[in-house]
Amino acid sequence: MSDPRDSFSAGDRLAPPRREPAHQPRAPRPPRGPRKHSLLGTVLSFVVSGLYRVVFLGIVLGLVGAGAGFLYFSAGLPSIDSLKTYKPPLESRVFASDFQLVSELGSQHSVYVTYDQIPPLVSQAFISAEDKLFWVEPGVNPAAMLRAGITDITLIGSGRRPIGASTITQQVVKNMLLDNHITFGTKVKEALLAMRVSQAMSKQQVLTLYLNEVDLGHNSFGIAAAAMTYFDKPLSQLDIAQAATLAALPKAPTNYDPFLHPADALQRRNFIISRMLDDGAITQAQADAATAEPLLPRAAAATQGVVNGGYFADAVKAQLVQKFGADAVNTGGLVVHTSLDPRLQQAATDAVRDGLEQYDHTYAGWHGRVAHVADPDLAANWQQDLAKQTNPPGMRQNWRLGIVLEAAGPSARIGSIDPASGSPQTGELPLADMRWARPQVNGGLGPRPSSVSDVLHQGDVVMVSGEAMLSLEQIPNIQGALVSIDPTTGRVLAMVGGWSHDISSFNRVTQAQRQPGSSVKPLVYLTAMEQGVQPDAPVLDAPFVQQLPDGSVYRPGNYEDTFQGPVPIFHALEDSLNLATLHLARQIGLNNVATTFQNFGIVDQMPPYYPSAIGAIDTTLWKMATAYAALDQYGRQVTPSLIDSVTNPDGTVLYQSPSQVCDNCVNNADPGQMPQLNLSGQQVADPDSAYQMITMMKGVVLRGTGAPAIVGISQPVAGKTGTTNNFNDAWFIGFTPGIVTGCWIGFDTPASLGKDQTGGNVCGPIWNEYMKVALAGQPNLDFAAPQGMTAQQAAEPDGTMVTEAFKPGQTPGAQSQNALLGGADNGGSSGTPAAPGTTGPGQPGTPTQPSNIDNSLGGLY
């Protein structure tokens, strides 16, 4: 065993061993003298001791206050569960029958995109602009909040809005869970909720919510909608500069609007590009290229894809709200397929506008210039002067504004901007193209202009069309409406509710209550057919006198102020004879006429007075066209429909039009069997009588008042004109076996259209223009005769033989030996006939006495 001492060094061995001294008691300390304190030391000691206590108390109070504040502000905070199950508010989209977009319905324009559909550069642009620490922060940025708080203290009393320090998460909370009112309390709640959201949801979920909900101006919410609004392109096609332009908007959408404030928008955009570079999101070369890119916003095309479909879209929206409620329509993202035919809608719009223009140029004269520019150097400055003008609503697509540069000699020189190229151009407006522009003098029209200076003056801003040779244009004061229906299904193919939806959204198809005049007469004659009266039965066209309940005497007249004596019923309809119609109504019973009117839906309750039988009732073009559709369908009631189907965003069918339901379309056992739609509708008249009326109404357009409507149309047409007293309203409603179209023309405030402005003359050409488009390429199909009906010859008053329809057992002339229809009251009338002898036939063609005619009630023609 080794000796521990062997591990010591030699020196250690030579050193003597250390001995511990023996313990000795410590000598007592001498007593201290009294301690001396300075005054300064005493004070400092007291202050330090006090500070410790204050700090400790402050910490305690701060913790207590923070806890109390947390409890206070946490109480009543909204749940964040709604963010987890978030369904974005989506516009409902309305489509035409060919899938063109008609309109978007909603309180805000938004298009939802998933996280995977968001280009990384777009999301990075917003992160660089709004919240560079988004990916790592716990929902709030304490340093930014402290900095903002210090700054806000300096703004107290300045009246300026406090600056924000909201992260993207806080903005989501503010926009979706809280109101936008900024107070200290709401900022605390915002921060608390943001931390909760950051713990409960992934950053990707939060960013998706933000980029779909952020307000980017022009009623565009979310980046996808804004991409279309500002650049008219899908989100996936945005470049760096465009993404930065959108990212500039959340800070102040109006102030950085690239359309309204391009300089500020450009500056903010370039700042965000630099932030993206600093954050490493883009390279220096990309930043330089994006900064050099000009700011070229491009307004999105109008959301209404089908041109001039505004009236139809409004009617669809009204039905959707009625079926599903306003919230579902405005935020539910409904997909609505409709019956609208864009080709026919454009044809209808053109026809109505052409007809109104024709009337306006002929009878209304010159309304005046759009504006006037008093510029002493107009020749040099006209382009700038014209650029300051705003297009009036309702201008046609081929019109534009022009400014009169010279107005002397045989033509005026007009400066305008080419709408296609945007380049300035000048053109000549010859006097011959403004001869219609007569001045309005004392409620009438003055002479036609003899020189251009009678109409135009240098500096006038006017509407023109054409290119080198221009035409003077103006928006008419008169209004019109047209509706076109497939009578088999009731699907509405086209609807024009006025000159322009941009001027007035009042729909004159569905909303304007007007007197239909003689267009109701087919229903009076149908009532007679249902009572077994033959089309060739004689009816008395002679003075008609009726004492009304108030004691007054009703003494109407015919349009020509003449009467023809006994005439065949079909002829009375062709010539729209008021007196013959009233005699017939008296014979068949006014109460029976009322029942027919009500069954066909033109009125809910017909006033029980004879003027009602010749159109002195209030109804709409919609109701009248619907009644004619029932005639077209041989008395089967037709319900017009605008909407074919409605689905929600996931494709679930919420509504299917009954006219679109087909029982044998799926799993059809017989491949050779044609699909059959389910056609519903009560039978409101017997088919045989309805066919007799159709045949008689074919005579109206072939030989009677409706002749202008079918010029150049080879297909069989049935129809009837309507003109109210004082020529206030002009109507024509006509149909073929496959389409019913109705037209109305008049002033919104009833006023005379002018003498001889009848339904045939005013509405007939409009109907004709539209139907030539609608019938193009269609076969010449005639109305099929019901079984047992025969077509036989009957004589006009002048001996001309025409074809009319007769029921089984009826033969031409069989009722001609009977007493004339008229003269005796068959019940149901309101009032009593005048003294005997006052309704005698008189001499055919003898003018009635104008002083004895009451033209205040009923139709004219």
What is the SS3 assignment for 743?
Answer: strand
Considering the candidates 103, 166, 500, 518, report the single residue annotated as catalytic: 518
Burial of 101 (0-12, 13-18, 19+ CB in 10 A): middle
- Rounded Cα–Cα distance for residues 842 and 629 (Å): 38
20 counts as catalytic: no
- Rounded Cα–Cα distance for residues 501 and 645 (Å): 25
Query: What kind and span of H or E run contains 414?
Result: strand 411-417
How far, in Å, are 368, 382, 441, 459 from residue 376 at the CA level?
22, 10, 31, 9
Rg over alpha carbons for the chain, rounded to the nearest Å, is: 43
45 counts as catalytic: no
| DSSP code per residue over 220-281 | EESHHHHHHHHHSS-GGG--HHHHHHHHTTTT-TTTT-TTT-HHHHHHHHHHHHHHHHHTTS
- Rounded Cα–Cα distance for residues 4 and 2 (Å): 6
Q: Are strands 371-372 and 460-466 parallel, antiparallel or unpaired?
A: antiparallel
Smallest Cα–Cα separation from 411: which of 468, 373, 353?
A: 468
Q: Which residue has the tokens 């001396």?
A: 36
How far, in Å, are 44, 175, 253, 254, 374 from residue 215 at the CA level?
59, 9, 7, 11, 42
Q: Buried (b) or exposed (e) across 685-715, using 16+ Cβ within 10 A?
A: bbbbbbbbbbbbbbbbbbbbbbebbbeebeb
Contacts of 293 (CB under 8 A, 6+ apart): 239, 241
What is the SS3 assignment for 630?
Answer: helix
Considering the candidates 91, 92, 103, 130, report the single residue annotated as catalytic: 130
What is the SS3 assignment for 585?
Answer: helix
Query: What kind and span of H or E run contains 315?
Result: helix 310-324
**Structural contact between residues 740 and 632, judged by C-beta atoms closer than 8 angstroms:** yes
- Rounded Cα–Cα distance for residues 250 and 217 (Å): 8
- Rounded Cα–Cα distance for residues 708 and 729 (Å): 17
Instruction: For the chain, give the number of residues.
Output: 861
Contacts of 519 (CB under 8 A, 6+ apart): 615, 624, 720, 721, 722, 731, 732, 733, 759, 859
Q: Which residues are catalytic?
A: 130, 518
